[in-house]
């Protein structure tokens, strides 16, 4: 029996399903989290063989002692994972310190977490990237701006989501950013790309081959959603476009990805852009060596009539999966922001779209900045029906 440590199995709230499928596959599932055991959901409790509570997952020494305890009690740990962007670096430190070889080690972190260090890998794969510069002083920033023009985007070189991400449109914006920026954060400045974000979401086996592939489209940037407190929308594609599939597979190879659930983001240009390509071309954005966040795994299941939690657990247990994939559909996420005067109220939405809706829930506060406060997730076989859903759900009076 393999011993699997799952970090933070209680958050995001749907991640207990990874643990459930591991346990169904005969794994010894050991959870480490900061929520008291008695407050864990019954399904999560049933999915764990043992749980170790720490006061804070931010305290490395506490988590280190938890892993050491499990090794003392159960012997060799075969796998340690959180599937969570926030803990990727912590996971790598723990694997390195305890010689758990089934996953990224601390030496791997720069190329998979720092946006500036991802770019040479994309270039090796022949995928164009935005021109950039690590932020130093005003003169240095202006040297890049002279080359690419305004607007530019600045964001943490090693960051999660759209936190501390800004669009700068002129010299005044630049000077204001340089004054207010966090001095403890290393920022990267990139040329602005006119595009929508397309992703490659896949479960990769130990040989670097895909066991399952799909993707999503974000017509509105997370940066704008966060900075302008807009509503949130994105959708799982009915069928993965061939160019995104190829770019995703090339990225898997060049980064040497094995035995992981990944979420790679690409730009699809919405206009011709000098130095990058023509409208419709795929440009690299960033790699994320974990599943797409929030409730996206559930949305993938709805879109493809499958169970990616089980496919992932099958990858760990057997390095293959016979989990079926059924009818393909679009799966749309609409996250409404509290305080807006929407045309349709909740009851009207339920009456009109009830047969399409798969999830209707409040979004946890920790995710609401990027995803809104109230979510509606629905499936559609036709794209025009999905577009009408977005119109009805998100339009205001």
Tell me the Ramachandran region of residue 214: left when phi exceeds 0, alpha when psi lies from -120 to 50, beta otherwise: beta
Mean of the pLDDT values across residues 258-271?
97
pTM: 0.95
Q: Is 96 exposed, middle or buried (0-12, 13-18, 19+ CB in 10 A)?
A: middle
Please give the mean pLDDT across all residues of the chain.
95
297-308 pLDDT, tens digit per residue, is 999 999 999 999
111-156 pLDDT, tens digit per residue, is 999 999 999 999 999 999 999 999 999 999 999 999 999 999 999 9
Looking at the chain, the whole-number percentage of residues with pLDDT higher than 70 is 97
Per-residue pLDDT, 159: 80
Q: Is 134 exposed, middle or buried (0-12, 13-18, 19+ CB in 10 A)?
A: middle
Per-residue pLDDT, 163: 76
Mean of the pLDDT values across residues 99-107?
97
Rounded to 5 degrees, what angle do the CA atoms 204, 16, 46 make?
125
Per-residue pLDDT, 224: 64
Residue 95 above 70 pLDDT? yes
- Tokens representing 107 are 């030496």
> What whole-number distance in Å separates Cα of residue 42 and Cα of residue 61?
28
Residue closest to 243 by CA, chosen among 276, 275, 281: 281
Per-residue pLDDT, 225: 65
Dihedral angle sign, alpha carbons of residues 309, 313, 319, 324: negative
290-346 pLDDT, tens digit per residue, is 999 889 999 999 999 999 999 999 999 999 999 999 999 999 999 999 999 999 999
185-240 pLDDT, tens digit per residue, is 999 999 999 999 999 999 999 999 999 999 999 987 666 666 667 899 999 999 99
């Amino acid at each position: 029996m393999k011993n699997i440590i799952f970090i933070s199995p209680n958050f995001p709230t749907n991640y207990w399903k990874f643990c459930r499928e591991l346990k169904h596959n005969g794994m010894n599932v050991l959870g480490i989290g900061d929520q008291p055991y008695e407050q864990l959901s019954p399904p999560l409790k049933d999915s764990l063989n043992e749980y170790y509570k720490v006061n804070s997952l931010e305290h490395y020494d506490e988590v280190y002692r938890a892993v050491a305890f499990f090794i003392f009690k159960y012997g060799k740990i075969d796998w340690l994972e959180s599937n969570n962007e926030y803990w990727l670096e912590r996971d790598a430190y723990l694997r390195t310190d305890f010689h758990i070889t089934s996953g990224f080690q601390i030496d791997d972190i720069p190329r998979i977490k720092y946006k500036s260090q991802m770019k040479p890998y994309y270039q090796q794969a022949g995928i164009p990237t935005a021109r950039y510069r690590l932020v130093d002083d005003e003169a240095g920033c202006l040297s890049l701006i002279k080359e690419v023009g305004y607007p530019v985007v600045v964001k943490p070189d090693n960051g999660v989501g759209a936190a501390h991400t800004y669009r700068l449109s002129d010299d005044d914006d630049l000077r204001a950013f340089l004054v207010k920026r966090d001095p403890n954060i290393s920022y990267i400045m990139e040329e602005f790309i006119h595009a929508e974000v397309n992703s490659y979401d896949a479960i990769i086996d130990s040989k670097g081959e895909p066991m399952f592939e799909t993707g999503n489209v974000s017509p509105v940037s997370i940066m704008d959603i966060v900075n302008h407190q807009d509503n949130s929308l994105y959708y799982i594609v009915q069928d993965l476009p061939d160019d995104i599939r190829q770019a995703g597979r090339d990225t898997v190879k060049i980064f040497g990805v094995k035995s992981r659930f990944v979420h790679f983001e690409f730009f699809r240009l919405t206009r011709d852009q000098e130095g990058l390509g023509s409208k419709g071309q795929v440009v690299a954005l960033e790699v994320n060596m974990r599943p797409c966040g929030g409730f996206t795994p559930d949305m993938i299941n709805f879109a493809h009539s499958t169970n990616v939690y089980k496919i992932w657990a099958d990858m760990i247990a057997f390095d293959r999966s016979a989990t079926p994939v059924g009818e393909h559909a679009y799966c749309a996420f609409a996250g409404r922001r509290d305080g807006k005067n929407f045309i349709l109220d909740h009851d009207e939405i339920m009456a009109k779209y009830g047969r399409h809706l798969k999830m209707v829930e409040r979004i946890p506060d920790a995710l609401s900045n990027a995803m809104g406060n109230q979510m509606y997730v629905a499936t559609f076989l036709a794209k025009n029906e999905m577009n009408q859903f977005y119109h009805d759900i998100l339009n205001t009076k």
